[in-house]
Structure 1
Amino acid sequence: MVLKSVWKGVALTTRVGPAVVQSGYTVVKLSMSTDAAERLSIGSLFGAGVDRNTMAAARLTSLQNKVAYIDVQSYVDGLASAIDAGSSRELFAVFGALPDDTESIELFLPNMGVALGVPVVDADSAGFDVTAAIADAKIDESIHSGPFELNSLVVAADSSADTEKDAASTTVNVSGDVLFATDSAELSGKADELLGAVVEQLELYPSGGVMAITGHTDDVADDAYNQGLSERRAQAVSDRLGELTDLSGWEVTVSGKGETEPRVANDSDENRQLNRRVEMLLTPTHPDEASSMSAADVSASSGDMPDPKGPVGRGPDGVDIEINGVPARISLDSVTRYEGYLVGTVEISAEQEVDVPLYLLQIPNDLLMLRMWSSYAATGCTLLKGNSRHLVVDFRDSNEEHRVLGSLLHDNLTANDVRSVPVVWPDTGEDTVTMDMIGEDDTFGQHLAVRLTDVPVSEV
């Protein structure tokens, strides 16, 4: 697989693969070449901001199996020295061992893109010395490579609800402030609209399963009152869902947790609002029933798109923006539908050298808090469908930290640089998509606001 990219204004060609499983590791070969007129430093190309000379931000994924792996090397020799003018460099990414029956993988490379369909071969067919590659790798045994389950999160544009999916379950959180009046368990006039999203999820699984409905409150009022209110609200939602759809195939449990299980700390009005919610955890008997549906079978999100917060233009044409007052440009030529996901590479360029704000691609804090993502990653690149935002796919590592399949944008942009920001989203089921970045600058600095429309979806 070949990826074309630009780094520090210099064109790079990276050949990815094959991948080989041996001695408890998966080794992926990378061959990088450039026609640069002078030496090119690549020390921070694959790192996660401060992790120079590592592949800390590279991800091996099996999108078919909905899992990701982290590179286990503490240091990569080939990244420490620059590539000489007109020469090439051979590198090896090292991850945990794939299952024996894996035939291909994807390799997510920051500042480059995503290599799809990288073949997994045996050592005899690799074309390189696998044993030597593993022996030379600076493997840090403390790094847990995975596999980690991939998750997708869809949020209402007005933050009234969000839906999270992993391989085994679906969790829908609906805002208590929209479902109910203050201190009330009587459903509001907007409740049916929000619960319709839950019905939509239930109908994806004709065989049914188990659904746990749980009420939650903030920490205002005493514990006993909050516990009772959360129980009454959960029961009201359960009763109404039973009227809106047939729940005979679902084993339903109803409970309240009061203020005991907040999503975020109860330290601001905004956070307390996030904590006032009713959660519905769906564990279907046959999770694959939903994934077996074609994209055309997935119903469209209702409602109108929210107004854009910044400039608007067609993704393939690109849109003019500013970074720290310097004219720049952002584009998204297309995305590729692959194994239930959409894979794309956002490109950002500047007319002259400019320091990139650390938080430029960050999602606003109220959504960032849902996951506690790294502030430096491309969390702000959302796909907007109707009034729903499809956020960047993520996973939870061994330290319980959420990591996204959305590249960093760090270091300065040089003149004529075209920085590649690969991103993976859940499939929206559309022929064209709209990428929307909300912006909303805060005390951390500039966050990019822009909308890219009419981005074509290609099929592999």
Structure 2
Amino acid sequence: MRVLSDPLTGAAATRRTSRRAAGPLAAALAVVLLGGCTGAPASGEDGSGTTAQAAVRSAPGDVVASVPLTVGGTEVTVDVHPLVRAGEHVVLTYDLVPDGEEDVRLGGRFGSELRGEYVRLADLRTKHVHVQARSQEGEVVGSPQELYRLPAPGVRVQRAFAAPAEGTGTMGVMLPGAYLEAVPVVDGEVPAPVLATGDDGAPAAGGRVRPIDLEAVAEAPVHGLESFTRELSGAVDVLESSEHVRINLGGDVLFDSGSSSLGAEALAVVEAAAARLSTRAPGVVEVVGHTDDVGAAATNQVLSERRAQAVADALAGLIDTDRYELRPSGRGEAQPLVPNTTEENRAANRRVVLTLTSGAASGSQVGSAGELPEFEGPVATGTLGVEIDGVRRWRCTAPAVERVGDSLLVTLDVTALDDAVDSAIAPGALSGIRSYRGEGTSVPRHVLGLTLMAGSSAVHPYDYLAGTGPEGEEVWHTLGELDTLQRVDGGQTLRFVAVYPSVGDVETVTLQLDDVLGAKPFRLTDVPVVG
């Protein structure tokens, strides 16, 4: 199948005479929220949406959110029920109801190609993602086991996950095409596994399904979310999780060749690093210098030690060293980040790395200083969108970016500007072939790969280590769309979403598809930040 990456028009051009209308703004705003579930956090003191207040207003059988999505060339409404606690697990129930009288071929959306990780639970306060539970045989626990065609009356889907901590009143639910910020977590009976249809509430025809068997759960993974950002045009790389932060400072920005004296541009770099360290709980900061392999190994060892000491001395004037003990050391050329085979790789290996193992003490904000870097490719505002010609024509728009707690929900709408029906050409080239994490890592081939830009800072979506690939590489999944290679007929819009770390107090951001192998680059500017 040939894949093209392209932007499309803003609001979805729907064809349904529907029982529910789609909203016009971001993915979360396309959700019809009912009962006690809202798009904003529950009224807990910490604003996290984790109090039980939202849950007391919802019963297990209630529909708390309805999401209209384009699936298989038609509109399908996803009716989401509360998460029901059952011992060590919670059960998510959602109903897929097509708008039409014919069965719908689901393809990858809500399918099984990615082993059930299209639908996930998220706790953005603690920065964790819950993946669907599996049996000893590796099958998802719940019904249906696989779903390739959606019957016209609709289907009820149930899946088990690890339960959140006691007292958690809401969790986020990531769906293909939408993120629900605050789905209630309730106690009670798990809803029946079969969707009721018709006015009499009778089960759908042929709907004999066993109740979910939680005894079959062998594993219910919970992964810590990490974030990867680049500030000051890449001079500062930050890899952050709930347990640690690693800050990579580019050596060529800090020092002149062969020198251990900080250069003129170094202050802004060290200040950015200090700002990120100060958001963490107190602990020991390892300051480690590295060099390339040019010159004698002994000389490089001494140079790396002196550079680490210079950075530590500069940091000492910016942070409280009684709370953040600085331990400088050098590794010389012994631990290259990448092979020293090119000048570009050698530059990457010349660095000073700060590592602090401690929890986050306050919300970490990515800096938004500096100018937006130059860009080669189509550029337009998020509202207007960019258009790309190919075998099919597309328009990509970004109506808004929504604040979700201390994070950002990014929405990309991709519209087909032709009249094709059931075409083999789909908007799949929305990411590059290689992972932004570098060598030894990979991401799903058609993951939504937008970079969020604020000033000279580049922000990637939250991600988590999902497993190991066939060649031993780390496989990372983002908290967002894992497969954009989906059917979309002419005039229809596919909506893709992903969740990102927050940036500073900004009114607009830029979203771009970077110019990397396998992608068709574009940039959307002036995307409003709302909420």
Which of the five TM-score ranges fits, normalised by the shorter chain? Answer: 0.7 to 0.9
The Cα shift of 1:78 comes to 6.0
The Cα shift of 1:339 comes to 2.4
Please name the residue that 1:271 is paired with: 345
The Cα shift of 1:193 comes to 2.0
The Cα shift of 1:254 comes to 0.8
**From 26, 47, 69, the counterpart of 2:90:** 26
Please name the residue that 1:164 is paired with: 239
Structure 1 position 331 matched with structure 2 position 400: no
Please name the residue that 1:35 is paired with: 99
Cα deviations by residue, 1:54-97 (Å, 9 ceiling, x for unpaired): 52332211112210122234356364352233x21111122223
2:509/2:529 contact within 8 Å kept? no
Q: Give the Cα–Cα distance (whole angstroms) in 2 for the partners of residues 303 and 438 of structure 1.
A: 20
> Alignment partner of 1:406: what SS?
coil
Alignment of 1:160-239 (within 5 A): 160-204=235-279, 208-221=282-295, 223-239=297-313
1:381/1:435 contact within 8 Å kept? no
Tell me whether 178-187 or 326-335 shows the greater mean CA deviation. 178-187
Q: Match of 1:253, as an amino acid? A: R
Assess, with a 3 A threshold, how the Cα gap between structure 1 residues 116 and 311 changes in structure 2: closer, same or farther.
Answer: same
Q: Match of 1:355, as an amino acid? A: I
Structure 1: state its 5+ residue gaps: none
> Alignment partner of 1:253: what SS?
strand
Q: Match of 1:163, as an amino acid? A: V
Cα deviations by residue, 1:108-141 (Å, 9 ceiling, x for unpaired): 122x2112211111233x43369954329986x4
1:7/1:418 contact within 8 Å kept? no
The Cα shift of 1:363 comes to 4.8
1:216/1:257 contact within 8 Å kept? yes
Please name the residue that 1:419 is paired with: 494
Assess, with a 3 A threshold, how the Cα gap between structure 1 residues 434 and 363 changes in structure 2: closer, same or farther.
Answer: farther
Please name the residue that 2:150 is paired with: 83
Please name the residue that 1:304 is paired with: 371
Alignment of 1:346-361 (within 5 A): 346-351=412-417, 352=420, 353=423, 355-356=425-426, 360-361=429-430
**From 367, 391, 408, the counterpart of 2:436:** 367
> Alignment partner of 2:104: what SS?
coil
Alignment of 1:118-137 (within 5 A): 118-124=183-189, 126-128=190-192, 132-135=210-213
2:433/2:445 contact within 8 Å kept? no
Assess, with a 3 A threshold, how the Cα gap between structure 1 residues 264 and 29 changes in structure 2: closer, same or farther.
Answer: farther
Q: Give the Cα–Cα distance (whole angstroms) in 2 for the partners of residues 179 and 283 of structure 1.
A: 24
The Cα shift of 1:300 comes to 5.1
Tell me whether 57-66 or 160-169 shows the greater mean CA deviation. 160-169
**From 510, 521, 525, the counterpart of 1:435:** 510
Q: Give the Cα–Cα distance (whole angstroms) in 2 for the partners of residues 280 and 373 of structure 1.
A: 24
1:309/1:438 contact within 8 Å kept? no
Q: Match of 2:504, as an amino acid? A: G
> Alignment partner of 1:367: what SS?
coil
Cα deviations by residue, 1:281-303 (Å, 9 ceiling, x for unpaired): 2346x732x22x9xxxx685221
Tell me whether 1-10 or 370-379 shows the greater mean CA deviation. 370-379
1:332/1:452 contact within 8 Å kept? yes
**From 370, 373, 391, the counterpart of 2:460:** 391
The Cα shift of 1:244 comes to 4.9
Please identify which structure carries the higher strand content.
1
The Cα shift of 1:333 comes to 1.8
Structure 1 position 106 matched with structure 2 position 168: no
Identical aligned pairs, as a percentage? Answer: 28
Structure 1 position 148 matched with structure 2 position 205: no
Assess, with a 3 A threshold, how the Cα gap between structure 1 residues 224 and 116 changes in structure 2: closer, same or farther.
Answer: same
1:212/1:254 contact within 8 Å kept? yes
Please name the residue that 1:319 is paired with: 386
2:391/2:425 contact within 8 Å kept? no
Larger Rg, first or second structure (1 or 2): 2
Please name the residue that 1:115 is paired with: 180
Assess, with a 3 A threshold, how the Cα gap between structure 1 residues 28 and 13 changes in structure 2: closer, same or farther.
Answer: same
Q: Match of 1:382, as an amino acid? A: T
Assess, with a 3 A threshold, how the Cα gap between structure 1 residues 326 and 189 changes in structure 2: closer, same or farther.
Answer: same
Tell me whether 90-99 or 420-429 shows the greater mean CA deviation. 90-99
Structure 1 position 453 matched with structure 2 position 525: yes
The Cα shift of 1:269 comes to 3.8
Q: Match of 1:172, as an amino acid? A: I
Cα deviations by residue, 1:326-357 (Å, 9 ceiling, x for unpaired): 21011222232122111133111222445247
The Cα shift of 1:386 comes to 0.7
Assess, with a 3 A threshold, how the Cα gap between structure 1 residues 155 and 371 changes in structure 2: closer, same or farther.
Answer: farther
Structure 2: state its 5+ residue gaps: 1-64, 195-208, 469-473
Q: What TM-score, normalized to structure 1?
A: 0.84
Please name the residue that 2:62 is paired with: none
1:364/1:439 contact within 8 Å kept? no
Alignment of 1:285-300 (within 5 A): 287-288=360-361, 290-291=362-363
Q: Give the Cα–Cα distance (whole angstroms) in 1 for the partners of residues 259 and 433 of structure 2.
A: 30
Assess, with a 3 A threshold, how the Cα gap between structure 1 residues 72 and 450 changes in structure 2: closer, same or farther.
Answer: same
Q: Match of 2:459, as an amino acid? A: H
1:43/1:81 contact within 8 Å kept? yes
Assess, with a 3 A threshold, how the Cα gap between structure 1 residues 84 and 127 changes in structure 2: closer, same or farther.
Answer: closer
> Alignment partner of 2:81: what SS?
strand
Please name the residue that 2:321 is paired with: 247
Tell me whether 410-419 or 97-106 shows the greater mean CA deviation. 410-419
**From 445, 457, 462, the counterpart of 1:376:** 445
CA RMSD of the aligned region, Å? 3.1
Cα deviations by residue, 1:149-177 (Å, 9 ceiling, x for unpaired): 11122203632221222223332111112
**From 104, 113, 116, the counterpart of 1:55:** 116
Structure 1 position 44 matched with structure 2 position 116: no
Q: Match of 2:425, as an amino acid? A: D
> Alignment partner of 1:123: what SS?
coil
Please name the residue that 2:4 is paired with: none
The Cα shift of 1:320 comes to 1.9
Q: Give the Cα–Cα distance (whole angstroms) in 2 for the partners of residues 392 and 372 of structure 1.
A: 15
1:215/1:231 contact within 8 Å kept? yes
Aligned length: 437
Assess, with a 3 A threshold, how the Cα gap between structure 1 residues 123 and 221 changes in structure 2: closer, same or farther.
Answer: farther
Q: What TM-score, normalized to structure 2?
A: 0.74
Assess, with a 3 A threshold, how the Cα gap between structure 1 residues 369 and 15 changes in structure 2: closer, same or farther.
Answer: same
